[in-house]
Amino acid sequence: MAGQNMGAPSIGYLRRFAVNRPGEPEVIRQRFFDHLLLIGAGTTQLNFFQQPVGQGVTTAAGATVGSTKTLADTNMKLAGQLPALVNFVIQSIEVTIEPGSSLAASTFVGQKPALVTNPASLAAAQAQLEVMNDPDTFYKSGWLELNIGNKNYLTEAPLGAFPPKTQTVISTAMAAATGTAALAIGAAYTALKSNKAGRPYFVDPAISLMSNQNFVVSLNWPGAVALPSTFNARVGVILDGFTYRASQ
């Protein structure tokens, strides 16, 4: 019987991960994220983590247009700072973009390439598929700044230096008919996959965000860079690392 217990974790190992430790802090792997609308005509600055849940304007699928942010948009509880007893260590930064299909103010409607079928002309097909060029244009422009308090801790360009850890892979199929028949074009997203095109942007050495300390991550452009599709997009910034908080 004793041999069967060899290698079993000790009680000390169990207590390392206990959730009930009155008076002691705990650490968990928890990202902080925020999403904003990028208008199709472009802008010169987007400031992230400044509008917590219940403020700002949502860009999440399924949300009522014009309503405030929910946890589908951000997990910030305060504007531009972490609440009391919550601290965070930034280990990496990601910037994401989701192409859209609407020009309406304060509105994001996700693009669905799988629905791009049988347009009436080649020009119409090209216009519909132009959305695929939005991420390319976005990542080749702009710069990111991380400011904590009154001090800058990171300035890096272009935005493609901050790839997401997962990517959406697009598969396409095309067929052109002769005569007066319409051009048939199909495109479909696959599932999210691990991004193997390059490493994430690691913050080394790591940077600590302390509770009640104001901070902002901004994306900046010297002038508005219009998206090829002209549609609004959804842009996100993800801070990956460890969250320190009080135990229960």
Is residue 106 one of the residues assigned to a domain?
yes
pTM of the model: 0.83
Report, as an integer, the average pLDDT of 91-108: 93
Is residue 11 one of the residues assigned to a domain?
no
pLDDT, one tens digit per residue, over 136-193 is: 999 999 999 999 999 999 999 999 999 998 876 665 655 666 555 555 555 555 445 5
pLDDT value for 141: 95
Is residue 160 one of the residues assigned to a domain?
yes
Q: What's the CATH code of the domain at 71? A: 2.60.120
Is residue 188 one of the residues assigned to a domain?
no
Is residue 184 one of the residues assigned to a domain?
no
pLDDT, one tens digit per residue, over 206-215 is: 999 999 999 9
- Structurally, the chain folds into a number of domains equal to 1
Helices (H) and strands (E) in the chain, counts: 3, 11
Is residue 8 one of the residues assigned to a domain?
no
Binned at pLDDT 50, 70 and 90, residue 41 comes out as very high
Question: H or E stretch including 14?
Answer: helix 11-16
Question: H or E stretch including 135?
Answer: helix 134-139
Cα separation of 154 and 148, whole Å?
10
Is residue 128 one of the residues assigned to a domain?
no
pLDDT, one tens digit per residue, over 109-131 is: 987 765 555 666 666 666 666 77
The residue ranges of DSSP E strands in 104-165, in sequence order, are 143-148, 151-156
**Residue range(s) defining the domain that contains residue 62:** 21-111+135-165+199-246
Pick from 1-15, 31-45, 100-114 the range whose average pLDDT is largest.
31-45
Q: Angle CA(157)–CA(205)–CA(13) in degrees, nearest 5? A: 130
Is residue 65 one of the residues assigned to a domain?
yes
